[in-house]
Amino acid sequence: MPSPIPVTRLLPRDFGLSLGVCSSPLTKHSGDATLRVPVTAFHKKLACRLWSSVIHWRELCDLESIGSGGFGLVFRATYFGETVAVKRVKCAKNKLASRQSFWAELNAAHLRHDNLVRVIAASTQANGDDVSGTRLDSVIGTIIMEYAGDVNLQQVIYSATEPLLTASCVRYAADMARALRYLHAHGVVHLDLKPANVIVSQTGVCKLADFGCSLKVELVRDPDSPVRRMEIGGTYTHRAPELLRGEDVTPGADVYSFGVTLWQLLTREPPYEGERQHVLYAVVAFHLRPDLNKDVFSASGPGRAFKELLIRCWRAEPNQRPSADQLLTELSTELSQS
């Protein structure tokens, strides 16, 4: 679960943010609910480098529901004439967790990379004129993002009828490693890397999405930060054992999740069977990991290389796992040979 941290710690230091309306997910203010961040002019409409703190509601139209999750509803829409994705973070039973999820979504809003879903604009309000069917009084905030594609990696793995070639698996994995390398270089850990959170574009490029569980590494290292006293969220099948033990967050947690996702790509099977609590206990106490005794890992060459890479990704100690940069180097080698 993302921590209750002020917006000043989520945004780049050069934003020149003046504390005011909605300066923290844990405080309330009267008046306009738009984030007080300088607005950048559009360059080629939505291709601006920095995300905007103001949503131009009159330009947002044609909302069509395309999905939902624990904290939000996702729509396809049109914004300034271009197709976008709109996420409405709603107030779930745990209102604090809902607010934390919204603010965590903005941890990477200032970052621009080909393998990250780009944030275009965000606001702590909803448009009272739209007809999407959302109860507006239940909305924590609205985020407009690029529309990266129609399918996610989960669908590619488990729904596609055609075989998933090894070269495609390596290419998808390399895209994820590039996204992690860029995130980690900018002090952000995703903490919920899984196939459902990876969008696959029409050209086959993977883009990492859904930052609702992400954290800033600098906050984790701060002994006075609430992050150190909060439970870290994410999907239990992909969660690193140190997080299950309540230990500090490091980029190694994302590498562990990457390993589980790569295993799914190669096997097209679910990582675990059985009750959630049994799996969690076995991962921590008995070093349970997805089965590496599959045919795909028994062959020489790529199969053996993947097996060795996964073993290192799943080491119990995060500092013994490869970095995202090392992952990309090894995957690039496999790409050149496939």
By annotation, the residues acting in catalysis are 192
CA atoms of 241 and 316, how far apart (whole Å):
7
In angstroms, the CA 172 to CA 305 distance is 16
Structure tokens at 267: 């096997």
Q: Assess contact for 21 and 32: CB atoms under 8 A.
A: yes
Phi-psi group of 22: left, alpha or beta (phi > 0 → left; psi -120 to 50 → alpha; rest → beta): left
Distance CA 178, CA 328 (A): 7
| CB contact set of 150 (below 8 Å; sequence gap of 6+) | 202
List, as residue ranges, the binding site for ATP: 87
CB 79 within 8 A of CB 57: no
Q: Residues with Cβ < 8 Å from 245, sequence gap 6 or more?
A: 284
| Spatial contact of 228 and 248, defined as CB atoms under 8 Å apart | yes
Q: Facing residues of 289 across strands?
A: none
Degrees, nearest 5: CA angle 179-112-200: 50
Tokens of 244: 């299950």
DSSP, collapsed to helix, strand or coil, labels residue 188 as strand
**Binding site listing:** 87
Whole-number Cα distances in Å, 273 to 37, 264, 270, 277, 323: 46, 13, 7, 11, 29
**Which of 263, 262, 160, 269 has the alpha carbon at shortest distance from 206?**
262
Per-state percent for the chain, helix, strand, coil, to nearest 5: 40, 15, 45
Residue 67 and residue 145 in contact, taking contact as beta carbons nearer than 8 Å: no
